[in-house]
C-alpha cells in the first residue's frame, strides 16, 4: 500500500492534495460509531484521488475503506443515493463493495463540515492503485474483463428507479445532449450553476465546443428515443476495478467508486469507459498543437466492446449511438468539474484547465484526430449488425 500524502494533479503529476489526508484520531472517532468495528486503528494507505480524502484502514483484524467528502460536494442525502444504488446492485448479485451502516443504520455520516462513508474492501487486489487518470489497461485481457464487468453492472442496475441527481457537483450526467435542443439544455444547466455561468460569459470556450460537437449530436439525435434511461457508474477505468491478480489473465472482481453515478443510459456509460481508458489525454494537455500524437489503444477498445457485448449485447440503436456518445460524453463532467473548482476550491486556474483544456481541447481532438477511434467503433457496430 502507498503511504504518500500526494494527490494526482490535473496534468498527471503528483501534487499537494486539495483536501487534508485522514488522520488516525479522526478515523477512530468515525469507526467508534460501528459496533462491528472494534480494535486499534491503523491507516494503511492514503489515496491519491483528488476530489476527497480516503484511506484503507486496519481496525482490529479487519480492513475497511474510509472516505471523507466536503459536505459542499456530498452531504448525507446525496451520498445516500449512491449507497442505495450500490445496495440495489448487490441485491442483484453485482460485485460492488458493501457500504457499512453504523449502529443507527446510517451509511453517510455527517460530522462538522465533512461527510464520511465506510466500505468493506472487495475481494481481489487494487492493481491500478497508483495509476493516474486516463491510464490504459496493462493488458488487453483486462480491457475485455472490464467490459464484461460493466455489462453485468448494467444488467443488475435495471429496476433502480431513483430520479437523476439535481445539481450535484462532480457528476457525469446526461442531460445536455439527451435533449432535443442541446443549446437550450445547456442554458438550463448553467442557470443552476451561476458562478460557472458567469465565468463562461467571458470566454468563447463553451460556444466553440458546442459548435465542434454539433455533428456528433446530429448523428445521435435520431437514436435518442431508443436509449433507455438507466442508473450507471460513469467512471469505469482500470483503477476503479479490483482484480483477481497481477497477471495478463486476471479478471475484474469488483467495480468501486460510484461518486460520478447518475441516471444516464447504458451506452453513455460504455462511452465513458472508452473515453476514460482508451486515449492518452495527458499527451494532449502537454502538446495541444500535435493532436495526432495522442496515444489511442484500439486493441483495448475492441476487447472492451467484445467483453461487454458478450454479456449484454447492445441493441442496433445502442451500437449506432456509441461513436457519437464517445465524442460527447465528456462535456457534462468537464462543466461539473469546472463548477467544483470555482465554487468549492475557488480556483480559476483549475477551472480554466477543465474548460479550455478538457472541455474544448477534447472537443477539438475529436474533430481533428479522433476519427480513427470513432471509425473503429462504427466498424465494430456494423460488424455486429451484419
Can you give the pTM of this predicted structure? Answer: 0.95
Of the given ranges (12-26, 81-95, 304-318), which has the lowest mean pLDDT?
Answer: 12-26
Judge if 315 and 169 occupy the same domain. Answer: yes
Q: Domain of 373: which CATH number?
A: 3.90.1200.10
Q: Which residue has the cell 481508458?
A: 277
How far apart CA 221 and CA 25 sit, in angstroms, is 53
For β-strands 53-59 and 41-43, DSSP reports them as antiparallel
> What rounded mean pLDDT belongs to the chain?
94
Total domains in the chain come to 2
pLDDT value, residue 167 = 81
Same domain, 179 and 328: yes
Measure the CA–CA gap between 244 and 151, rounded to whole angstroms: 18
Q: Residue 133 in contact with residue 294, Cβ under 8 Å?
A: no
**For residue 115, is pLDDT > 90?**
yes
52 in a structural domain: yes
Residue 230 lies in a domain: yes
Whole-angstrom distance, CA of residue 329 vs CA of residue 306: 21
DSSP structure string for 262-300: EEEEHHHHHHHHHHHHSB-HHHHHH-TT-GGGS-B-HHH
- Residue 41: CB atoms within 10 Å: 20
User: Does 69 lie in the same domain as 168?
Assistant: no
Domain boundary pick from 55, 89, 120: 120
Q: How far is CA 194 from CA 198, 339, 343, 360, in A?
A: 6, 9, 10, 20
> Which uninterrupted H or E stretch holds 25?
helix 24-31
| Residue 76, domain CATH | 3.30.200.20
pLDDT(8) > 80: no
Q: How confident is the model over 210-255, as pLDDT tens digits?
A: 999 999 999 999 999 999 999 999 999 999 999 999 999 999 999 9
224 and 165 belong to one structural domain? yes
Burial group, residue 202, by CB count within 10 angstroms (0-12, 13-18, 19+): exposed
| CA–CA separation, 114 and 66 (whole Å) | 12
What pLDDT was estimated at residue 16? 83
Sign of CA dihedral 29, 33, 39, 44: negative
1 pLDDT above the threshold of 80: no
Residues 329 and 370 in one domain: yes
Same domain, 206 and 328: yes
Q: pLDDT at position 337, please?
A: 96
The arithmetic mean of pLDDT across residues 119-123, rounded, is 96
Tell whether 288 is covered by a domain. yes
The confidence score (pLDDT) of residue 281 equals 94
If pLDDT is split at 50, 70 and 90, which confidence band does 294 have? Answer: very high
Q: How many CB atoms lie within 10 A of CB 379?
A: 12
The domain containing residue 180 runs over which residues?
140-385
pLDDT tens-place string over residues 170-222: 999 999 999 999 999 999 999 999 999 999 999 999 999 999 999 999 999 99
Q: Residue 381: is its pLDDT beyond 60? A: yes
For the cut 90, the answer to whether the pLDDT of residue 258 exceeds it is yes
318-361 confidence digits (pLDDT tens): 999 999 999 999 999 999 999 999 999 999 999 999 999 999 99
Q: Which residue has the cell 473503429?
A: 376
Q: Is the pLDDT at 3 greater than 90, yes or no?
A: no
Amino acid at each position: 500500500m502507498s503511504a504518500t500524502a500526494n494527490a494526482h494533479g490535473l496534468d498527471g503529476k503528483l501534487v499537494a492534495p486539495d483536501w487534508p489526508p485522514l488522520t488516525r484520531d479522526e478515523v477512530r472517532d468515525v469507526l467508534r460509531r460501528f459496533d462491528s468495528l472494534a480494535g486499534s486503528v491503523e491507516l494503511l494507505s492514503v489515496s491519491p484521488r483528488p476530489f476527497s480524502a480516503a484511506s484503507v484502514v486496519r481496525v482490529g483484524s479487519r480492513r475497511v475503506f474510509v472516505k471523507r467528502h466536503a459536505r459542499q460536494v456530498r452531504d448525507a442525502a446525496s451520498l445516500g443515493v449512491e449507497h442505495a444504488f450500490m445496495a440495489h446492485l448487490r441485491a442483484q448479485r453485482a460485485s460492488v463493495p458493501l457500504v457499512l451502516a453504523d449502529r443507527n443504520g446510517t451509511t453517510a455520516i455527517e460530522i462538522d463540515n465533512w461527510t464520511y462513508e465506510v466500505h468493506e474492501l472487495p475481494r481481489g487486489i487494487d492493481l491500478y492503485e497508483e495509476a493516474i487518470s486516463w491510464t490504459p489497461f496493462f493488458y488487453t485481457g483486462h480491457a475485455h474483463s472490464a467490459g464484461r464487468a460493466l455489462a453485468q453492472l448494467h444488467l443488475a442496475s435495471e429496476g433502480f428507479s431513483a430520479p437523476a441527481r439535481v445539481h450535484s457537483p462532480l457528476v457525469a450526467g446526461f442531460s445536455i445532449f439527451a435533449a432535443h435542443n442541446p443549446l437550450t439544455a445547456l442554458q438550463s444547466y448553467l442557470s443552476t450553476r451561476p458562478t460557472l455561468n458567469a465565468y463562461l460569459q467571458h470566454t468563447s470556450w463553451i460556444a466553440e465546443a458546442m459548435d465542434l460537437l454539433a455533428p456528433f449530436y446530429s448523428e445521435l439525435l435520431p437514436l435518442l428515443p431508443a436509449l433507455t434511461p438507466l442508473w450507471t457508474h460513469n467512471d469505469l477505468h482500470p483503477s476503479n476495478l479490483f482484480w483477481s491478480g497481477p497477471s495478463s489473465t486476471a479478471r475484474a472482481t469488483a467495480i468501486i467508486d460510484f461518486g460520478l453515478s447518475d441516471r444516464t443510459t447504458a451506452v453513455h456509460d460504455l462511452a465513458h469507459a472508452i473515453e476514460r481508458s482508451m486515449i492518452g489525454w495527458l499527451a494532449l494537455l502537454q502538446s495541444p498543437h500535435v493532436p495526432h500524437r495522442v496515444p489511442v489503444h484500439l486493441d483495448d477498445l475492441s476487447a472492451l466492446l467484445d467483453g461487454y457485448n458478450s454479456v449484454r449485447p447492445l441493441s442496433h440503436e445502442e451500437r449506432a449511438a456509441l461513436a457519437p456518445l464517445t465524442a460527447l460524453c465528456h462535456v457534462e463532467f468537464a462543466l461539473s468539474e469546472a463548477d467544483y473548482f470555482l465554487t468549492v476550491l475557488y480556483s480559476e486556474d483549475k477551472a480554466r484547465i477543465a474548460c479550455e483544456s478538457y472541455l474544448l481541447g477534447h472537443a477539438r481532438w475529436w474533430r481533428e484526430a479522433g476519427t480513427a477511434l470513432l471509425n473503429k467503433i462504427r466498424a465494430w457496430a456494423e460488424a455486429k449488425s451484419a
